[in-house]
């Protein structure tokens, strides 16, 4: 009986070891990105650990691409919200439509960065850095407004800046 218990333990270890190592690797890739992140490290670790493509990354490149894609996805959702808000308020339509365009620019820049980060991390880093110009434009367009839609857009913009920071950490981890 002792030998069957021993065999079961060894077999369990053999089966589980790749998963344990994989998880440890993904954690180290996330930690590397978060070390480069110039913001709240706890936010970085929590966000990337909760995002399945980053949490299951098998290389630093996969973790970086996942991080950039997460930011791109957030920019796309923010652009959608801003576009709907522009249609709902004729007085703010022009400014909110311009904000929507800025978020589309961010989304495209982050997508571009994710596709070029393997070959040219410095160019990818530059693409991510440019996204801050768009968030500044959004703040200038609606930052002083007191309506609920503008306040929501500003809150989303501040979160977008965190995702851009994550993207910078990702590109810098690969040499950008």
Q: What is the pLDDT of residue 65?
A: 97
- Superfamily of domain 27-173, CATH level 4: Invertase/pectin methylesterase inhibitor family protein (1.20.140.40)
As a whole number of angstroms, the distance between CA 69 and CA 75 comes to: 10
Q: 25-49: per-residue pLDDT in tens? A: 778 999 999 999 988 999 999 999 9
- Under 8 Å between Cβ of 166 and 40: no
| Strand, coil or helix: 6 | helix
Q: 46 or 23: whose pLDDT is higher?
A: 46
Q: What is the mean pLDDT of residues 55-75?
A: 96
Share of the chain above pLDDT 70, in %: 86
* Average pLDDT value over all residues in the chain: 89
Token pair listed for 112: 């571009």
| Rg, C-alpha atoms of the chain | 20
Can you give the pTM of this predicted structure? 0.85
Q: What is the pLDDT of residue 176?
A: 78
Q: What is the pLDDT of residue 24?
A: 53
């Amino acid at each position: 009986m002792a030998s069957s218990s021993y065999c079961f333990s060894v077999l369990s270890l053999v089966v589980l070891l790749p998963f344990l190592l994989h998880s440890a690797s993904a954690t180290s890739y996330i930690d590397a990105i978060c070390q480069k992140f110039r913001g709240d490290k706890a936010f970085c670790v929590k966000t990337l650990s909760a995002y399945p493509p980053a949490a299951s990354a098998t290389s630093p490149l996969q973790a970086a691409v996942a991080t950039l894609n997460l930011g791109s996805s957030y920019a796309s959702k923010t652009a959608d919200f801003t576009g709907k808000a522009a249609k709902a308020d004729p007085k703010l339509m022009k400014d909110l439509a311009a904000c929507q365009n800025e978020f589309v620019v961010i989304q495209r820049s982050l997508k571009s960065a994710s596709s070029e980060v393997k070959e040219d991390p410095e160019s990818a880093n530059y693409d991510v850095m440019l996204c801050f110009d768009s968030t500044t434009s959004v703040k200038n367009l609606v930052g002083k407004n007191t309506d609920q839609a503008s306040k929501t857009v500003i809150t989303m913009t501040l979160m977008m800046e965190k995702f851009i920071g994550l993207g910078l950490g990702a590109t810098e981890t690969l040499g950008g």
